Structure formats: C-alpha cells, structure tokens
Amino acid sequence: MSRSDDQSAKRSPRRSLGFTLAEAMLASVVLAIAVVGISQLTSASYQQSEALRQDTRAVSLARELIEEIAGKPFADPNPVSGEEYHPGPDTGETYGNRATYDNVDDYDGFTDSTNAGAMKTVSGQALDFKVTEYFSRAVKVEYRTAPAGPAGNGDFALVTVTVTTAKGRTVQLSRLFTRTTIAS
C-alpha cells in the first residue's frame, strides 16, 4: 500500500455494510404499498368469484323450476269453464303448493325463497342452502297469439322464471310453450 492510499483511508471514514434507517423506512413503505395492492386484487377476485358462484346457483334454480314446468301439459286436464286463458292456479288447486299444479299456467304468480327453508322441490323436500345464502324465484306465464306476438289468448304461453340473489342480481330464463294437437 502506498503512502497516498494510507492517507486517503484515514481521511474518509469507512462506511459500514448495511442499511440506514431511512433506507429501511423507504423499503417498508414500498412493501406496504405492494401488500395493500395485492390484497385489494385478492379481495376483488374473491368478490367476482362469489358473484359467479351465486349466478351459477341462480341459473341452476331457474332451470330446475322451468324444467318442472315443462313437465306439465299446456292444456288443463280438468278445464273449468271460463278459466281457459286464466293464468294461475285453478279452482281446487292450492296457491304455492306446486304438487297440486296440473298444467303450465298454474305456475303464474308462483314465488318462493330461501327464507326459513321455504324453497323446496315439487315433492316438498327443502333445498339445501347456507344460512347466509338468499335466493328468491318468481314465475310469470303470459299467453300469446303467436310466438313473437303480443300477449293475449292463444296457443302459446311464454313462461319466465326470475331468480334474484341476495345482492339483487337477477337471472331470467324464458321458455315458449305451445298447445299441440296430434291429428289422428
């Protein structure tokens, strides 16, 4: 080592290997900002996932009910005079008791929800939901003179099942039913 090197080493104190307090604080702030950003993304992802799960369940509930309705005949097997095109349960059928419904239009005005286990299958078995889950279903039956025509007495019925989630999101499924007669 030369003399000039020795003197310059004495003049400038040797820096220690490590971080200063300011550097550590700055690194902590940058890390905190990154963690907050990532947690917000995770929270948004969870909310999106939960909304998708609820929408999927709502579609499933709507499909289940519309398929049940599709299993019923269009025309009332026990017609009552003057009630041919009167949507809703007929005389002798209990409103809200789907087991008594014998044709498509009996479902008009039907509603149920998951409150207190009120949502059931047609056989009366309660559907299984978490305590925090809420869904409601409503059915509207509208007679039509033509498939795309206006409402009125006719050989077509548009059935719409609407399912609403706890967050107010709605899913609607519609199906067009027709009176069919098979000529012999």
Chain segment 16-44, per-residue pLDDT in tens: 677 788 888 888 888 888 888 788 777 77
Q: Does any domain span residue 29?
A: no
Is residue 156 within a helix (H) or strand (E), and if so which, with residue range?
Answer: strand 156-165
Total domains, the chain: 1
Give first-to-last CA distance, the chain, whole Å: 118
Q: Does any domain span residue 16?
A: no
Query: Is residue 177 a contact partner of residue 157, using CB atoms and an 8 Å limit?
Result: yes
Query: What residue numbers bound the domain in which 108 lies?
Result: 39-178
pTM for the whole structure:
0.72
Q: Does any domain span residue 32?
A: no
pLDDT by residue (tens digit) across 126-161? Answer: 778 777 788 999 999 998 888 887 777 888 999 999
Q: Does any domain span residue 13?
A: no
pLDDT of residue 12: 53
Q: Does any domain span residue 72?
A: yes
Q: Does any domain span residue 31?
A: no
Q: Does any domain span residue 160?
A: yes
- What's the pLDDT band for 121 if we cut at 50, 70, 90? confident
pLDDT of residue 3: 54
pLDDT of residue 77: 79
- Pairwise CA distance, residues 139 & 159, whole Å: 7
